[in-house]
Amino acid sequence: MSQRNVSETETAIKERARKVLPGGGFGNVTFDVVIKEGKAGRVWDESDNEYIDFLLGSGPMLVGHGHADVQAAVLDQVSKGATFFVNNAHGIELAEEICKAVACADKVRFVSTGSEATFYAMRVARAYRGLDKILKFEGGFHGMSDYALMSMAPARPGNFPQATPDTAGIPSKIRDDILIAPFNDADTAVSLIREHADELGGIIVEPLQRMIPPASGFLEALREIATATGIPLIFDEVVTGFRFAYGGAQEYYGVVPDICALGKVVGGGYPLACVAGRDDIMAHFDASEVGAGRAVKQTGTLSGNPVAAAAGLATLEVLRGEGTYEYLFASGQKLMDGLTASITKHGLQAQIMGLPPMFDILFTSDKVIDYRGAMKSDRTLGKRFNELILAGGILKGDNKFYVSTAHTDADIDEGIAICDAALAQIADEAT
């Protein structure tokens, strides 16, 4: 496969980055590319290499880069001011639209990032219950807070429900407030929840964990035990919100949580996220409703930012268009089917995991239902695949293909061809 051209300009930018950024980057991706421009389903780097963009800014650009309606909304608001730190009409309208679209959303509290959204979702659940502990699922990614980075990617998974910190710098006492359960094991999860019901402030789960779909009845079992015990069920829909359906994964799977965290798509590519949930729980963001002693303090300089809210509103309007989700799913399915055909053609032990708008390839033939199963995939081959498709002209994250409504049939066909060539090379290297 071809190697990407690296210009003197891009090389100089990278040298500057290494002087001022730890590791020479923003900490987001492992590959060494500097992007300068995006349009629809493609991006270009500082060396003018063109890529089909299946990274999509790690998901926010669901309607593609530079969508005319989103750009117009943003430019209109920018001309009137960038931020105010008080209510604005765009933010209020976006909250109204989220409440109409998302089943669990009676009220919304805006923040700027998905990490904040999951952090405050856990905090408001604890405030509602008056209890400290949170149950999460091994391998579940809920952002960068101390609570979220427990058993998100443990190198040596421990015994359930013991939590393992994923990073240096987390106070040792945090692990005592996080219980870990196996994803897709309803019996074990329900047993742990029932056993610790008088300690738990909330249960947080990705309805689709990274790329692993929920087993039949798993989310329903969580909903049932949460209702029976009165423990708030939190769906982390930062990734899945407005991606699998207009009402998110809770619409797609037909299971409604008590609280959800939303981000990425809802901000249209700008820094905006939110906590949304049941009225009596969200009341804890309002001291006049619950009293100062039970209220959750939350402010943010850019929370409800009018530019981001305008972008979010325009993005959601695009997604409400007739046939939008049908097209998104058809495009993603075509790419998934093409990759599956290539895997079979080249005799590789691999599989495609996820749903058409968001999936990845795992180099294992074993059935994967949880984090420990995913860990058994050949990560060296996964890394090699990503290197080869990057050289061939696909921008993709370490562990995910994101598909947008802006990807054309030509983008998908070319993407299949690039991936096929990469898989062919991997097969040749193995012989």
72-319 CATH, one of 3.40.190.10, 3.40.930.10, 3.40.640.10, 1.10.1040.10: 3.40.640.10
Mean pLDDT of 163-184: 96
pLDDT band at 431 (very low <50, low <70, confident <90, very high): confident
**In terms of Cα–Cα distance, which of 289, 273, 269 is closest to 281?**
289
Q: Give the chain's mean pLDDT.
A: 96
Each residue of 66-122: pLDDT tens digit? 999 999 999 999 999 999 999 999 999 999 999 999 999 999 999 999 999 999 999
Quick one: fold of 8-60+322-430?
Answer: Aspartate Aminotransferase, domain 1 (3.90.1150)
The CA distance from 366 to 217, in Å, is 22
Each residue of 309-359: pLDDT tens digit? 999 999 999 999 999 999 999 999 999 999 999 999 999 999 999 999 999
Tokens of 424: 């062919």
Starting at the edge strand found earlier in the chain, the sheet holding 200-205 runs 107-111, 273-277, 259-262, 233-237, 200-205, 133-137, 178-181
Cα 135 to its chain centre, rounded Å, is: 19
Cα 318 to its chain centre, rounded Å, is: 20
Q: Is the pLDDT of residue 1 over 60?
A: no
- pLDDT computed for residue 165 by the predictor: 95
pLDDT band at 2 (very low <50, low <70, confident <90, very high): low
Task: Parse the chain into domains and list their residue ranges.
Answer: 8-60+322-430, 72-319
**Angle formed by the axes of helices 324-345 and 306-319, nearest 10°:** 80
The string of DSSP codes covering 302-349 is: TTT-HHHHHHHHHHHHHHTSTTHHHHHHHHHHHHHHHHHHHHHHTT-S
More confident residue, 204 or 5: 204
- pLDDT computed for residue 65 by the predictor: 98
